Amino acid sequence: MAAFILVPGAWHGAWAFEAVVPLLERAGHTVHALTLTGLRPEDDDATVATTNLDTHADDVLQLLDRARITDATLVGHSYGGMVIAAAADRSGGRVSRLVHLDAYVPRDGESCWSSTSEGYRAAFVAGAARTGHAVQPPIGGDPRRRPHPLASLLQAIRLTGAFAQVPRREFVYCSGWEDRTPFADLRSRLQADPGWQVHELPTVHNAMREDPEAVAALLLGESVADASTQGRAARI
The residues annotated with a catalytic role in the active site are 78
Please state, in angstroms and rounded to a whole number, the distance separating the CA atoms of residues 166 and 47.
Answer: 31
Q: How many CB atoms within 10 Å of residue 28?
A: 9
Please state, in angstroms and rounded to a whole number, the distance separating the CA atoms of residues 235 and 194.
Answer: 9
Alpha helices, DSSP H, located in the chain: 21-26, 45-50, 53-67, 80-89, 112-115, 118-127, 150-154, 184-191, 207-210, 212-219, 231-234
Please state, in angstroms and rounded to a whole number, the distance separating the CA atoms of residues 149 and 218.
Answer: 30
